[in-house]
Amino acid sequence: MINAWNTIIAHLQQERLFDSCDLNEGATSAQLADLEQHIGQSLPQALHAFLSEHNGQKISAKLGIYVGRELLSTESICQQWDTWRTIDEPGMNDDCADFMSSAPLGAVKPMYTNRCWIPLTHDYGGNHIGLDFDPGPNGVVGQVIAYGRDEDEKRLLADSFKEFLPILVAAVLNEDWSFADELRGQ
């Protein structure tokens, strides 16, 4: 995880955007334990290590690190997860079942909301990249998925957080940061 963070930070510094990303200090074991208790899931070791290096981004961050999405802190993961729990009404998933799907087929349960989906990023519009602890019949527990308000097709991104890390790093390295010119050097 240290190598992933070192690569991300070096690239953001090279792009003169590091300060705009407002990374938090590493999560403490107490913060990680509180998160796990709150969501009722044990996090994979790779995510523990990742959050222990930098506990996501501050809410004040001017720039989301992963394709414009904010990397959530342990506290923000709980807040976003809680927001989704407010719409866990009986029938919500039944009402949306006709237009929910999974890519690939059967990897992710075609639901609108699932308490076993744990947000790791936020796009400020209700969409997330997160962990799936309740996969479809062709998925695996702990897989990384795209889901949210605008994501009728729930997409499998990686079989684990460990497998997702190189995807995250590649996204940072390959991002066209020209849209952030006004943030450089602030």
**Would you state the pLDDT for residue 178?**
85
Measured in degrees and rounded to the nearest 5, phi and psi for residue 162 equal -60, -40
**Mean pLDDT confidence for 39-55:** 97
Pairing, β 143-148 against β 127-132:
antiparallel
Contact between 65 and 172 under an 8 Å Cβ cutoff? The reply is yes
Q: What is the pLDDT of residues 14-27, one digit of tens each?
A: 999 999 999 999 99
**Would you state the pLDDT for residue 185?**
58
Q: What does each C-alpha distance from 138 to 31, 111, 161 come to in angstroms?
A: 32, 15, 17
The residues pairing with 70 across neighbouring beta strands, listed in sequence order, are: 122
Residue 136 has pLDDT above 60, yes or no: yes
Query: Which sign, positive or negative, has the C-alpha torsion 40, 3, 166, 79?
Result: positive
Q: What is the pLDDT of residues 76-128, one digit of tens each?
A: 999 999 999 998 877 888 888 889 999 999 999 999 999 999 999 999 899 99
Helices 45-53 and 2-14: crossing angle, nearest 10°? 40
DSSP the chain: -HHHHHHHHHHHHHTT-HHHH-BPPPPPHHHHHHHHHHHT-PPPHHHHHHHHH---B-TT-SS-TBTTBEEPPHHHHHHHHHHHHTT--TTHHHHHGGG-EEESTTTS---S--TTEEE-EE-SSSEEEEEESS--TTS-TTEEEEEETT-SEEEEEESSHHHHHHHHHHHHHH--GGGGGGGTT-
**Mean pLDDT confidence for 52-78:** 95
The residues pairing with 156 across neighbouring beta strands, listed in sequence order, are: 145
**Mean pLDDT confidence for 22-44:** 97
Structural domains in the chain, CATH included, are 2-183 (3.40.1580.10)
Residue 50 has pLDDT above 70, yes or no: yes
**Mean pLDDT confidence for 50-54:** 97
Residue 179 has pLDDT above 90, yes or no: no
Q: What percent of the chain has pLDDT over 70?
A: 98
Average pLDDT, the chain: 94
pTM of the complete model: 0.94
Give the CA diameter of the chain.
Answer: 50
